[in-house]
Amino acid sequence: MAGDDAVPGGPIEHPAYGVVRPVTDTASVLLADNPGKMTLDGTNSWLLGAPGSRERIVVDPGPRTRAHIDRIVDAADVPLVLITHRHHDHTGGIPRIARLTGAPVRALNPKYCRGGEPLRDGEVIEAAGVRLTVVTTPGHTADSVSLVLDDAVVTGDTILGRGTTVIDSRDGTLGDYLASLDRLSDVGEGKRLLPGHGPDGADTAEAARAYRVHRQQRLDQVRGALETLGADASPLAVVKLVYADIDKRLWPAARQSVKAQLDYLRS
């Protein structure tokens, strides 16, 4: 993997497509070329491994894009693939990376495992010269996990590099999500944020607390909206009032988020 000295003009910055971008001594990222309103600049595939070796654990092979998976496989020897959660922009590449590397694929949800056991909360994994702890962080989805390294945390979509996370109405809940943010603020102190989308951040705990504050503000706004609209207002009516400031194309996502907040407030 190229060090900073190999790059004319200094370190590579996010977003960098098509190149492996070093972030910490043991973590680098390959950004998939799948930008979109729900993926920001695209999905981050994280490569974790000791310096001086080609071995890398792959966290989230990313979307089902041939070129992206081929780049990962060209850049590293892969002994293990880990999955942060079920969304297709993180898991679509599983069949190809499993076929090309023969590495076991492990996720919390057995449906996404290939030749490996489901992940367990608190489990310590050692591979490619690094050690990490699996921490379940449900909320964005029920099967979301974060991976805690010595100096960084891979957060999947639980915390993003910018903006906020959507609670997936299929199986995510705001109650779980708030508890997961608290958990990340406990385990992430002083550790770099390695998110599923967007740029990496200086401190995972700080990011978790900022997300907590933002959620609390939105909850207060939704409570306020219910006072105006009546206690049984629809999610869309609340969106139109509370999210008036955001792009209308984001309303479906906001509606999901508001639905999660209403479920939380009404439960």
- Hey, what are 155's tokens? 């957060």
Is the Cβ–Cβ distance between 219 and 211 less than 8 Å?
Answer: no
Beta carbon of residue 252, minimum distance to Zn ion (angstroms, whole number):
15
Nearer to Zn ion among residue 197 and residue 218 (C-beta): 197
Gyration radius (Cα) of the chain, Å: 19
Nearest-angstrom CA–CA distance, 258 and 151: 34
Closest CA to 21 of 38, 40, 6, 36: 6
Quote the least distance from Cβ 3 to Zn ion, whole Å.
31
Minimum CB separation of residue 140 from Zn ion in Å reads 6
Residue with smaller CB distance to Zn ion, 87 or 191: 87
Joined tokens for residue 191: 């550790």
Contacts with Zn ion, residue ranges (CB under 5 A): 87, 157
Q: Which is nearer to Zn ion, 86 or 240 (CB)?
A: 86
Nearer of residues 28 and 155 to Zn ion, judged by Cβ: 155
State the minimum distance, in angstroms, from the CB of residue 176 to Zn ion: 14
Q: Which is nearer to Zn ion, 22 or 63 (CB)?
A: 63
Closer to Zn ion at the Cβ: 39 or 185?
39
In whole angstroms, what is the distance from residue 256 CA to residue 177 CA? 14
Report DSSP state, residue 128. Answer: T
CB of 4 to Zn ion, least distance (A): 31
Instruction: Write phi, then psi, for 147 (nearest 5 degrees).
Output: -120, 115
Closest CB 213 distance from Zn ion, rounded Å: 22
The residue (of 157 and 200) whose beta carbon lies closer to Zn ion is 157
CA dist 150 and 112 (Å) reads 26
**Which residues in the chain belong to E strands, given as ranges?**
21-22, 27-31, 44-48, 57-59, 81-82, 105-106, 124-127, 130-136, 145-148, 152-156, 192-195
Q: What's the min distance (Å) between Cβ of 172 and Zn ion?
A: 9
17 exposed, middle or buried (CB, 10 Å; 0-12, 13-18, 19+)?
middle
